[in-house]
Structure 1
């Protein structure tokens, strides 16, 4: 491991490119946090992204322009002819790829990657992959061949632990990515001790050198004016924030509210619909009008923060988490949190959350009814010390 700045850093932005135009998830925000922070440092910085037709290399000026577009400060440009050749892609991705080609310091076909890296980056550069994307043999072996060192941030290994919850066809590729990290990484960055333990249990020995650095917890400034006219509800309400996917376990909440009946506090399910969850989607599609459960999607970050800040509590019955950003953000907004008793949530949230196992729905109902009847004590939430990005980067960047 090195404790001095590398001669240059190469940040992989393939995930951010592929998710252009979508609502940012936790992993997307991690990639953006790194990009924003690294742009403030003096160490030479480059960006790499895999497009449909090859690789694009950005210098610092190109990265600033890309960052402005990801953050919505600038609009994406028009889609060029090359971006329109591959069929079936979203318009925002085509426009983003086109802009990257216009902003590129250099670009190449896949077989030209090593030569492009050698021409532009000094030996000993640090390659950072933060988004579980582009972890291919071509990239990892290409970085090695060009004289770079590889650091990879692992968010979780949930696809291997809970394969039934995943999109069809995604488990084997994830297994292959982890095997490549196991073989090629000079350093693995884990977002929690729990993720490290679970990930290394899935790896062959010897495992790569590793560090643990909790993610920074940033929350938008709440803006109640950004909410639609019918939100927030007039009666006490509880929020569940996160993509509606099987491991988030919305079915548990729907069952719970069905048992509590119409006198239950309102449940606002805030998140976009994911995958492999047809039964839950069907239940959401048939929610009764003016019933105690409502699906709220498409809210801006500031509107969602306002909704969470005004809630009687936030609930997270997930079967598994890699870190748990939404419950940490809820605590930071001063909202009470009730969650499944997972080791990673105890690691990140400490004693500031309330934990109840999924095997005890009675405790969930009792706590929620109590919260609906009693406003929170703001003093308890004010003592939550959320991890910061400053702490994260202090740990990580002295080694990458």
Structure 2
């Protein structure tokens, strides 16, 4: 059984890294021969999907098929987007069972076989109620994905009021899980170190993330993109941890000879000074903020870049540089242990304490032709590789 609450709550929005992981689990599990179910928390209680309902949900999330119409129940709670309202109404129609919160256990006992393995990847439904209820099912097991412990290590980068709830979720994960799934050895070590004094340490398995191939779609780009001369690209939410202000400093140091820098990603939180600098950029300057773009549009820009620049201060895995390296696009990134773990020799590492070094590397990489023949071929982990490890837990 896969928890799909996050996928419901994120319906209609550009997928984040965690969203992609949950969708990869959905895609994989509906292809297994064993009975498979999806659990979703709604405004009114819980929905249970069977394989058919999960396939419909996957089709709607991927755009391969459509959603239905909103129903009366979906319109009542305030503050939710029309996309989430439509998705919730559709899931109600596709569900094989519904339950009020107090009846969750009865619903699961009526439909799930003994020995059910519950996966929670998105953490949106990681509550004592759900975990205790699943634990009480016959021979049930619980596997929870830990993406990072960045809120505990870098609380200054987080939205106000999010650090304590994150710690509580991590405590519950460590308390209830039979197995924790980590996206990197670095995350595994950091998570166990963070929880060593607070919780039991359940067994853990490391499975690097797969990379979903994306078809470039240049038709979604403005006519002036991509630039005709060598350019660089930064991908990710513009929030303090991603360190976009550092890139603005580097490009300022490069002066009039700076190559174009394209910044792709939504504006995040706690970053007013950087937003003000972006708002003040000259219209025809070397730095351009592109905002939120479709996956196909981002791929179209990425495939022609001289390099991806990634000065992030902390990562659990680091999908953008892995996606770039898979396309043989050079990567210039901060020297983080997790990036060395997943990229190996397929990146240029430069500490963000050395702005001059970054400026020097940018100049050097701009002078090289794209797809330089000396670049080694990077073979990232596939989702098939990932699930060969994870599905051994069954």
Q: TM-score band (shorter)?
A: over 0.9
Between the aligned partners of 2:291 and 2:374, the Cα distance in structure 1 is: 29
Between the aligned partners of 1:26 and 1:293, the Cα distance in structure 2 is: 25
| Equivalent residue, structure 2, for 1:387 | 381
Is the partner of 1:201 in helix, strand or coil?
helix
Between the aligned partners of 1:220 and 1:193, the Cα distance in structure 2 is: 27
The 5-angstrom pairing of residues 210-225 of structure 1 reads: 210-225=204-219
Between the aligned partners of 1:20 and 1:97, the Cα distance in structure 2 is: 9
Between the aligned partners of 2:370 and 2:22, the Cα distance in structure 1 is: 34
Asked whether 1:144 is paired with 2:138, we answer no
Note the C-alpha offset of 1:227: 2.0
Between the aligned partners of 1:378 and 1:388, the Cα distance in structure 2 is: 24
CA offsets 1:79-135 (integer angstroms, 9 cap, x no match) = 211111111111101111111111110011111111111111012100001112211
| Equivalent residue, structure 2, for 1:19 | 10
State the number of aligned residues: 391
Asked whether 1:202 is paired with 2:202, we answer no
Choose the corresponding residue for 1:103, options 94, 119, 129.
Answer: 94
The 5-angstrom pairing of residues 311-326 of structure 1 reads: 311-326=305-320
Asked whether 1:132 is paired with 2:127, we answer no
Is the 2:326–2:380 contact (alpha carbons within 8 Å) kept by the matching residues of 1? yes
Asked whether 1:307 is paired with 2:301, we answer yes
Note the C-alpha offset of 1:344: 0.2
Between the aligned partners of 1:45 and 1:219, the Cα distance in structure 2 is: 26
Is the 2:171–2:199 contact (alpha carbons within 8 Å) kept by the matching residues of 1? no
CA offsets 1:38-96 (integer angstroms, 9 cap, x no match) = 11110110000111111110001100100000001122222211111111111101111
Between the aligned partners of 2:161 and 2:283, the Cα distance in structure 1 is: 37
| Equivalent residue, structure 2, for 1:4 | none
Superposed CA RMSD: 1.2
| Equivalent residue, structure 1, for 2:360 | 366
Bigger shift: residues 234-243 or 72-81: 72-81
Between the aligned partners of 1:239 and 1:158, the Cα distance in structure 2 is: 24
Is the 1:331–1:384 contact (alpha carbons within 8 Å) kept by the matching residues of 2? yes
Gap runs ≥5 in structure 2 = none
TM-score of the pair, normalised by structure 2? 0.97
Between the aligned partners of 1:335 and 1:361, the Cα distance in structure 2 is: 22
Asked whether 1:295 is paired with 2:289, we answer yes
Choose the corresponding residue for 2:391, options 381, 392, 397.
Answer: 397
CA offsets 1:151-175 (integer angstroms, 9 cap, x no match) = 0010001111111111111111100
Is the partner of 2:148 in helix, strand or coil?
coil
Is the partner of 1:371 in helix, strand or coil?
helix
The 5-angstrom pairing of residues 233-382 of structure 1 reads: 233-382=227-376
Is the partner of 1:383 in helix, strand or coil?
coil
CA offsets 1:307-335 (integer angstroms, 9 cap, x no match) = 11100111000010000110000011111
Bigger shift: residues 214-223 or 310-319: 214-223
Between the aligned partners of 2:108 and 2:285, the Cα distance in structure 1 is: 58
Note the C-alpha offset of 1:281: 1.2
Is the 1:305–1:333 contact (alpha carbons within 8 Å) kept by the matching residues of 2? no
Note the C-alpha offset of 1:382: 4.9
Between the aligned partners of 2:102 and 2:389, the Cα distance in structure 1 is: 35
Note the C-alpha offset of 1:235: 2.1
Between the aligned partners of 2:233 and 2:299, the Cα distance in structure 1 is: 11
Note the C-alpha offset of 1:303: 1.6
Question: Residue 224 and residue 213 in structure 1: after superposition, are their counterparts in 2 closer, same or farther (change >3 A)?
Answer: same
Note the C-alpha offset of 1:222: 2.0
Is the partner of 1:142 in helix, strand or coil?
helix
